[in-house]
């Protein structure tokens, strides 16, 4: 009993110190929902169809889930977010054993130019190139495999964009 009490007395300050740096809510110092964002659909300059819609939908969903910003559907937003998908590329990762020409796994990369502007002053707050990627197993139908990977690719890009928006110093 005495050992248990001593262990508890020693562990309590350690547990308190471990939680001392934790902050509940947004990490950029702004109260949750204080700023509103208007997200315009991403322009797709790649040859991959419907990628812009997938990225816009995924970013909208992630913004709502995060809760740091409030989404404004029409006018009156503090910040307007625009984006252009500029690059889509497949990289070979692995090949079929004993066949150096047939690819079995791909890494798909996408890059987007994301801009955030203050609606009142017109000042550019954020202007960066953001990238995302996913892995695809090439089976008998590469086109279907790529099409099925688009939501995962869009979600990875959206999470990277959201990280810049939420943790940015703007």
When comparing pLDDT for 167 and 110, which is higher?
110
pLDDT at 26 over 80: no
Predicted pLDDT at 81: 96
User: Residue 45: helix, strand or coil by DSSP?
Assistant: coil
Strand, helix or coil at 79?
A: strand
The first and second tokens of residue 139, run together, are: 């089976």
DSSP reduced 3-state for 150: helix
Crossing angle of helices 142-167 and 51-66, in 10° steps, is 40
Structure letter (DSSP) for residue 68: S
Q: Between residues 17 and 74, which one has the greater pLDDT?
A: 74
Predicted TM-score of the model (pTM): 0.81
pLDDT digits (tens, 9 = 90+) for 68-79: 899 987 778 899
pLDDT in tens, 95-110: 989 888 888 999 999 9
Count of beta carbons in the 10 Å neighbourhood of residue 141: 10
What pLDDT, on the 0 to 100 scale, is given for residue 52?
96
Average pLDDT, the chain: 87
What pLDDT does 100 receive? 84
For the chain, domains (ranges, CATH) are 28-167 (3.30.160.150)
Assess whether pLDDT exceeds 70 at residue 83. yes
| pLDDT score at 2 | 79
- For 96-137, strand residue ranges (E) read 103-118, 124-137
């Amino acid at each position: 009993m005495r050992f248990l009490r001593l262990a508890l007395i020693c562990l309590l300050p350690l547990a308190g110190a471990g939680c001392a740096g934790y902050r509940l809510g947004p990490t950029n110092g702004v109260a949750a929902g204080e700023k509103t964002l208007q997200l315009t659909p991403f322009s797709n300059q790649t040859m991959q169809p419907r990628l812009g819609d997938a990225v816009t939908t995924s970013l909208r969903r992630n913004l709502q889930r995060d809760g740091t910003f409030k989404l404004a559907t029409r006018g009156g937003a503090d910040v307007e977010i625009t984006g252009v998908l500029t690059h889509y590329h497949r990289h070979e990762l692995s090949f079929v054993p004993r066949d150096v020409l047939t690819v079995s796994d791909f890494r798909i990369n996408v890059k987007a130019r994301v801009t955030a502007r203050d609606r009142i002053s017109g000042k550019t707050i954020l202007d960066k190139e953001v990238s995302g990627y996913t892995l695809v197993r090439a089976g008998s139908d590469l086109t279907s495999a790529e099409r099925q990977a688009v939501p995962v690719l869009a979600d990875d890009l959206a999470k990277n964009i959201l990280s810049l928006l939420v943790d940015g110093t703007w």
